[in-house]
Amino acid sequence: MKVAVVGLGLFGRALAVDLARAGAEVVAVDTDMALVEDVRDEVALAVCLDATDAKELRAQGIHKVDVLVASIGNDFEANQLLVVLAVELGIPRIVARAPSANHARILKLLGAHEVVLPEIEVAERMARSLLAGA
């Protein structure tokens, strides 16, 4: 499986590395060269580019991935545009990270097949764990 992880903050970096260790071919993308360099030895390809530019995405073969994860956490507008571009590029599965339920709704409307809300999902898992141990 070939996966592009766009946005290498805490969530994106951890996801990219875990996927690569599990055997996926991972293309890690960010606009911050320091974040790209930090993950370079862990993934198949790490590139510094503007993921809101369709030409740059195509030049790196992002249009050929099986899954794209849009995890640009500090710029929701860029994350939205990335989802739209992924739809236009015909990427078969688009997963987007959202900071809130309202943002998740927008990303779904734009074409994301799946939306994750990491903070909420971890809180729910922790609550179940705490209650099971009580």
**pLDDT higher than threshold 70 for residue 42:** yes
Give the pLDDT score at 133. Answer: 80
- pLDDT tens readout for residues 96-125: 999 999 999 999 999 999 999 998 999 999
- Name the pTM for this structure: 0.93
**Considering its fold, how many domains does the chain have in total?**
1
Alpha carbon dihedral 123, 124, 125, 131, in 10-degree steps, equals 100
Domain encompassing residue 121: 2-132
Q: What is the CATH number of the domain that holds 122?
A: 3.40.50.720
**pLDDT higher than threshold 80 for residue 134:** no
